[in-house]
Structure formats: C-alpha cells, structure tokens
Structure 1
Amino acid sequence: MTTTTDPWPLPRVVVAAPASGHGKTTIATGLLAALRRRGLTVSPHKVGPDYIDPGYHALAAGRPGRNLDPFLVGAERIAGLLRHGASVPTPADIAVIEGVMGLHDGAVGRRDYASTAHVARLIEAPVLLVLDTTAQGRSAAALTLGMAAFDPAVRIGGVILNRVGSPRHETLLRDALAEVGVPVLGAVTRAAEVAAPARHLGLVPVAERAPESLAIVTALAELVEATVDLAAVLDLARTAAPLTTPAWDPVTAVGGPAGAERPVVALAGGAAFTFSYAETAELLTAAGADVLTVDPLRDPALPAGTRAVVIGGGFPEAYAQALAGNTTLRAELADFDGPIVAECAGLLYLGRSLDDVPMCGRLDLTARMTGRLTLGYREAVAVTDSPVTLAREPVRGHEFHRTTTDPGHGDRPAWRWNDAEHGFVSGRVHASYLHTHWAGHPDTARRLVEACR
C-alpha cells in the first residue's frame, strides 16, 4: 500500500483556458460530478485564492474542495497540499484541478508566478484547455498552439470546445485542431450551457442555494457525460508523473498539540460565512483544539466551552437583517473575552453596523457597501502583537470585497501594506479585510490554540 511518502501515480488533470469566461468552472465541475457518477473517488482542487468555485467542486465530488495557491502558501507546499487533499479522507482515483484566469496569468508583476501554468508545472500535470469558440474557426488552433508554445514545460494534452455554434462549426474546429496535433476531447454547444446564479463577487456560494446548486451540479454532470470523452480524459490524467513529494501534514506544520487540554474553537459557518479553507480547521485540530461550527444566522449561542472564535469571509451584506436579528449571539460576541480572529466578513460582523443595520458592536467601526471592487494579492507586515501575530512579521494574503469601513483602521492596526495601515487589534480581537491561507502561516493556528490556554 502506498504511504504518504512513497511515489504515488495519482492521475490528475488541470482544466485551464486562455482567459476568464471560457467555461473552466462549468467543465471542471461537470467533470468532477461525471467521474464520481462513474464510481470514481475524485479529488477537487482550485488554483488561486477563490472560495466559491471550491464549494461547487465539493458538491460535485463529495469531499472538500481545496485551493492550490503558490502566492498564499509558497510554491514549495503545492505538491504536498495536492497530495494531502487527494488522500483525505480516502485516497482519490483522480484529481481535477481547475485553473484561474488565463493559463499563463500570474500575480501582477511576477510574470507567471501563481498562475495555472505555474501550478501545472509544480504538480507535473497535463492541461485540458477549455476554449470559448464563439466567433472563431481555425484561429482556435492557432490560439491553442500559441498557448502551448508560450511555455514548453506546460503540456496541453487536449482541448474541450465550448459554445460551439453548429455541427459544421464543430467539424471546422476539430479539423483545425488536428492540423496542430492537439486532440479534441469534447464539444459543448451554446444551447447546452448551464448557468449558475451570480452576484457582485462571482457565483452565489453553494451553501446559500443548496437545492438549486445540487440541480446545477447534476445538470453539469449530464452535460459533460453527453459532450466529453471521459475515457480520453482519464487516459490523459494517467499520463501525469508519479507524485514524489510527501503529503503536507497539519500536525507536522504546527508541531503537534501543545498540551492534553483540548479547548473549543468556534469556526463561523452557514450561508453568511462560507469563505474558509479546509486546512484552517485541520491545523486548529492538529494544534490541539476541538473545532466546532457556529452559524451566526441560526445559532443563538457559541458552542459550550468556546475559548476562541474564527470568523472568516462571506456575504454578511446579503444577510444583514437576519444577522442583526440574532441578538443573543451578537451580545455574546460583544462580551466574549477569548481571542477572536476575523477576516473580511468577520470584520464587518464585529463592527457597530453594516449599511446602518446593527451588528455585534465589538469593534468601533461602521461598514457600508460601495460600488468599487477591491481585489488582489497583498504582501503585508503585522503592525501590532495580537493572539495570532507578532509585530513586523510578514504575511501574504488577498483582498476581495466591495465594502469599506469607517475608520479604515484602528489605533492599533493589524497590518501594513502598500504604505498604509489596515485592520484592527482591539484587546484579544484581530480583524481585517485580509484573507490568509493558514497552510502558508501555520503559526496562526498554533498561537490561537496557545492563546486559549
């Protein structure tokens, strides 16, 4: 039996595209669901920091969707995190990795660092290129050839034609791709497209529309089964080289539990707080905590014995009235004396109000929606000691919001980036707009559990 350190010939394929909007999520989610319907155990992954696509992946695959982001966790951890995710809770038969933006689009100013191409190289996986063929014919072959030639270390093993206009259009496209030696593994017509509901930050998260999301995933599975050569995709995935990097291990990352006591850490969930990486709970558990979920929309109180609270991102603006109506939990959080870590939506929830709707009042700030999207990677430095940070410690994260707070930071800011201070450290509360991936900063989990004690 293969262990977490032996070479593992895990079949895997990266679903990429020349740009955003070509249909990566449609094809990746449909592949996951269709392969699962064939009886395979499928491991879902997403390049980049996005929280929403992995929710659809998880629904399709029946196991957590996980992110592979070199900027947030370091390139050296990517192969290990893939192997970990494909091993938990059981070894997968195949991994499907959805890319981000265009194949070669990386972090701004860093060439292709953190791009889909970068991750494909790190995990030595072939690429399945999804092409929006609207209003193009033979040029699709030229585009594919250019995408492949731009980085010879990235192997494009096949193409799925998306938004094909007619049988004649499909024949033209297939003939053109044959000229450049790239096999076509599927063709999806425009009429067959399946749309998921969207809002101001992208797709609506699965947790907010569970029945509708399940119907969408089922439709995507049927779409892929009818239009994609699944046997050929499996054959392509099996050409990936064996994974030789040991699996990432949360216990090793945090150094193991610091004591016999297992404090309870409440992790916010539910429809309003859907932005959380799977590794967050794994690291807290490895550090010695019992992690329990609290839904601020429904639960009147924190779990019994809670010693710390983690409130991640999400869409509190869509649920402001319902959050305000849970007055008992808001009051408990306002008076809670344990450490609290809040990111983005958590920051808004801890403030006095959001669009004039009362929130917890733990932090002296007000928040409101704006028409401006703040989005991008950040290289931050901690400004203030807190239960989870040490001053002058560097951290990498990302912002993703359309809200603003007044004031923009507290007297004791959490971070500094782009020559400005951000966030709030107030007592044992650490809150800001910065999303971080704790696999890249496992000391966050260790310190939080230690602060509980």
Structure 2
Amino acid sequence: MVSTGEPWSLPRVVVAAPASGHGKTTVATGLLGALRRRGLTVSPHKVGPDYIDPGYHALAAGRPGRNLDPWLVGEERVAPLLRHGATVPTPADIAVVEGVMGLHDGAVGRGAYASTAHVARLVDAPVVLVLDTTAQGRSAAALVLGMRAFDPAVRIGGVILNRVGSPRHEALLRDALAEVDVPVLGAVSRAEEVAAPSRHLGLVPVAERAPESEEIVAALADLVTATVDLDALLDLARTAPPLTAPAWDPVAAVGGPATGPATGAGPTVALAAGAAFTFSYAETAELLAAAGATVAPFDPLRDPALPAGTRAVVIGGGFPEAHAEALAGNAALRAELGAFDGPVVAECAGLLYLGRSLDGVPMCGRLDLTARMSGRLTLGYRQAVAAADSPVTRAGEPVRGHEFHRTVTDPGHGDTPAWRWDDREHGFVDGRVHASYLHVHWAGQPLAARRLVEACR
C-alpha cells in the first residue's frame, strides 16, 4: 500500500483539446479501457464540475470517476484529491485526467482559473492534445505551437489526431507536427469514430443506458487500442514527477465523526441514486461515512420506501424530466418523502422532485413550488452566500458552486431562500429542507456532511 503522505511516483497524463468537440471524452474513455485491458489499474479523473463523463470513465476503469475542480474545492485540494482517487480503493498504476472545454478556457472573467491548463499545472502532469483535424492540414502544427507557447508552464507531450480524412491526410499532419517537434501518439480516422448518445446537457448518463454504455465503452477501448501508441503514452505519463501533496482524507476533512467512530454505524442517510439522479460526487458518500453516517443509496424510480431507519435524505442532480412519469408512478415513495420530517438536502433535480409538479406531472409535494422545462440553459460557476441556517449551512457562509439546468421553478425562491448571489435570492429553506439549483462539491464544503449527520439527532 502506498503511503498517503510520502512522495508517490504516480504516472499520469491530462487529455486536453483546443476546444470542446474535438474528442476528449472519446480518447480519455478509450484510454482508460485500453489501459485496463493491459492489466493496469487506472484512476479516472475529470476537470470541472461535469457529472456525466465520470460515469463513462468509471465504467471503463472499474473504479469511481472523480472530479478535479479548483473553483469548487480550492486549488490546495486538487492534487490531494487526485492522490486520494488514485489510492482508493487500491493504488493505481496510472491516472488519466480528462480536461474541460479548451485547454486554456477557465472560469468566465477569471483567466485560466479552473481551466484544464490550471489543473495540469496543479497536478504537474504532461498534456496529450486531441486535435479535430477536419478540414485542416499543416496549420494543425501552428495551432499546437500556439497552444504550447500560450502557457509555457503547461507541457504538451504529444497529440492524438482525430477525424483524419485519409492516409495521405495523416502523413501530411505527421510531417507538419514533426517540424515543431511534437510527437503524434495516435490517429483516429473519421470512419473509426464511436459516438455516445447525447441530450440537451451533454451525454446521456451511463445509468440510463447501462447495456448500451458498456458496448460504447468497449468500442472506445477497441478504437484506442488500434489507433494509439499506448507504450509511448505510458512513457509520457511516467515523466510526471512524484506527487508530493498528501492524499485528501475525508475523516480529517470533517474533523472526525460527529456521532461516534467513523465506522458507518451511525444514523442512516439515504442517498438518491438510479437513472433519474446520477449527479453525485463520490466524495459526498465518503464524507458522510467519515462523519459517522451509514450511507444507504435508494432509487426513487424503483424503491417503494426509503431505506429502513432513514434519518436524513440527500437528493442530488440528474434528469428527472426524462423520468417524470416513472417518478410520479412511485406514489408510495413520493408520499413518504412529502411527509418526511428529517433533514433533506436537494440539488437541482432533487429540488424539482420535492416540488408539487414537474411539467404538470405530480412530484413529492414537500415544497410549495411547480417546475417546468424552459428553452433557456442556465450554466455557470456561482459565488454564493448562505442566506439562512439549515441542516448544512450557516447564514453568511460563502460557498462556491455551479448551475446546470434548463428548468425554472415558480416561485423562483422561498420566503427563506437558501442562497444569495448576484444580488438575488435563490433556493428554498423550509423547516429542515435545504433545496436549490446550486451544485456544491462537499470536498470544498466538508462541514456540510458533519452538520447533516449532527442534524439527524
């Protein structure tokens, strides 16, 4: 077992691109699957707040996909969280980190902050740049040269050519990149591409298409095995220097268990899961367990009741609009949640589920609101302040989160809102319920877990 405090030579690589749509997820997921087939233990990671790509990563790697987001967790926790993810449940042989958007695209108005380049620097990993070469020839070399020069602290160790038109096109691209001394680690033709199904907020989550998702991940592993020089990529990953940051520790983060030893023998906290509620960071359950809770997943689509002995409920994000009729059909669970008087924390999809209705379909009725799909995408990082005390917040506390939805609620916030940002009120605090559109990574707000367990008393 690798010590969580001593320097650790973890081979690692960041998969990036000049912009969204170049094929990062295709390559990263395929790499995870191909390296795993070689017998390697692979640790999957994703830059940014995205929940969906890590689901594909987890399926390919056989262990949880984890997020690395400086905005949500703080710069100081990024490398420790990488090390934690690469250590649990067993030490990994290599870590693959998929980037977000373009390599240098950070939080709006904050330069490179929270960009793929920022995270690559924080974890000191070489970058593999995925290039969509459609309608592009020798200029690809100029593009790579510019990406490399824009931030010399980010080391671009090679490129993978995507959507190559022909063998002649590939030869042209390889010759051009040789001129700027950038290795080509692989080339994928347009005919070879594998696509995953998508919807209005990105890919369809793995949990919603389990058999098809397994086929897609297997096909991506086949594709990368056939088109990428895995030996060269492994050699590049091994050039990353030892990780010196100690691994993130959930027990230390919550300040020790709130109710006895951190054995999971404390109050039961029910955690929504299943196809309708797929948006949850792995660290949420780890922090709750570290605070002394017994974490019990439940599926609102299928389970007729909350887990036995439930003292608190956490309902994260997902796509309830795609499952509204099925959620409504589970009337027994809706009624139980509508009458549940313990602490409840709900984010985005959870907010909609607790309301009276979603697009006219009945929901739990715990909150006096209606929700509907809209034509507008609300998306972005938020700097919020807790507007009231609740099971997980204290009034006046600053919190960083993000929004990602195409729905609206009526009313837009409760008499007691959950948050304030941009001089507006957001969300609902109603008795022991805290619900809003804001997604928060609890590794950045670990006291939320401890407070929730304490509120079970």
Q: TM-score range by the shorter chain?
A: over 0.9
Q: Which residue of 1 aligns with 2:38?
A: 38
- Residue 358 of structure 1: how far off its partner (Å): 0.1
Q: Distance in 2 between matches of 1:259 and 1:205?
A: 35
Q: Which residue of 1 aligns with 2:233?
A: 233
Q: Which residue of 1 aligns with 2:404?
A: 400
Matched, 1:68 2:100: no
Once the two structures are superposed, the pairs formed by residues 238-253 of structure 1 within 5 Å of their partners are: 238-253=238-253
Matched, 1:158 2:158: yes
Q: Which residue of 1 aligns with 2:272?
A: 268
Once the two structures are superposed, the pairs formed by residues 1-20 of structure 1 within 5 Å of their partners are: 2-20=2-20
Q: Distance in 2 between matches of 1:258 and 1:297?
A: 31
Once the two structures are superposed, the pairs formed by residues 427-446 of structure 1 within 5 Å of their partners are: 427-446=431-450
Q: Which residue of 2 aligns with 1:371?
A: 375
Once the two structures are superposed, the pairs formed by residues 279-294 of structure 1 within 5 Å of their partners are: 279-294=283-298
- Residue 218 of structure 1: how far off its partner (Å): 0.4
Q: Distance in 2 between matches of 1:75 and 1:164?
A: 37
Once the two structures are superposed, residues 342-366 of structure 1 have per-residue CA deviations (whole angstroms, 9 ceiling, x without a partner) of: 0000000000000000000000000
Matched, 1:183 2:187: no
Once the two structures are superposed, the pairs formed by residues 44-55 of structure 1 within 5 Å of their partners are: 44-55=44-55
Task: Give the RMSD, CA atoms, in angstroms.
Answer: 0.6
Query: What amino acid sits opposite 1:417 in the alignment?
Result: W
Q: Distance in 1 between matches of 2:298 and 2:340?
A: 14
Matched, 1:104 2:104: yes
CA contact (8 A) 2:2 2:87 kept: no
Q: Distance in 1 between matches of 2:258 and 2:204?
A: 39
The percent identity for this pair of structures is 85
Once the two structures are superposed, residues 124-174 of structure 1 have per-residue CA deviations (whole angstroms, 9 ceiling, x without a partner) of: 000000000000101000000000000000000000000000000000000
Q: Distance in 2 between matches of 1:296 and 1:307?
A: 17
Q: Distance in 1 between matches of 2:321 and 2:249?
A: 36
Q: Which residue of 2 aligns with 1:340?
A: 344
**Secondary structure of the corresponding residue to residue 452 of structure 2:** helix
CA contact (8 A) 2:133 2:140 kept: yes
Q: Which residue of 1 aligns with 2:387?
A: 383
User: Which stretches of structure 1, 4 residues or longer, exceed 3 Å deviation after superposition?
Assistant: none
Q: 1:322 aligns with which of 314, 321, 326?
A: 326
Q: Which residue of 2 aligns with 1:301?
A: 305
Query: What amino acid sits opposite 1:276 in the alignment?
Result: S
Once the two structures are superposed, residues 235-277 of structure 1 have per-residue CA deviations (whole angstroms, 9 ceiling, x without a partner) of: 0000001000000000000011122360000000000000000
Q: Which residue of 2 aligns with 1:136?
A: 136
Q: Distance in 2 between matches of 1:418 and 1:34?
A: 45
**Secondary structure of the corresponding residue to residue 342 of structure 1:** strand
Q: Distance in 1 between matches of 2:68 and 2:332?
A: 38
CA contact (8 A) 2:259 2:453 kept: no
Q: Distance in 2 between matches of 1:193 and 1:420?
A: 45
**Secondary structure of the corresponding residue to residue 30 of structure 1:** helix
Matched, 1:331 2:319: no
**Secondary structure of the corresponding residue to residue 367 of structure 2:** coil
Q: Distance in 2 between matches of 1:363 and 1:337?
A: 12
Query: What amino acid sits opposite 2:92 in the alignment?
Result: A
Unmatched 5+ stretches in structure 1: none
Q: Distance in 2 between matches of 1:283 and 1:2?
A: 21
Q: Distance in 1 between matches of 2:138 and 2:54?
A: 34
Q: Distance in 2 between matches of 1:100 and 1:419?
A: 29
Once the two structures are superposed, residues 168-206 of structure 1 have per-residue CA deviations (whole angstroms, 9 ceiling, x without a partner) of: 000000000000000000000000000100011110000
Q: Distance in 2 between matches of 1:258 and 1:102?
A: 42
Q: Distance in 1 between matches of 2:201 and 2:16?
A: 21
Query: What amino acid sits opposite 1:215 in the alignment?
Result: E
**Secondary structure of the corresponding residue to residue 96 of structure 1:** strand
CA contact (8 A) 2:11 2:237 kept: yes
Q: Distance in 1 between matches of 2:53 and 2:3?
A: 30
How many residue pairs match? The answer is 453
- Residue 76 of structure 1: how far off its partner (Å): 0.4
Q: Distance in 1 between matches of 2:259 and 2:368?
A: 35
- Residue 73 of structure 1: how far off its partner (Å): 0.2
Q: Which residue of 2 aligns with 1:350?
A: 354
- Residue 2 of structure 1: how far off its partner (Å): 3.2
Query: What amino acid sits opposite 1:208 in the alignment?
Result: E
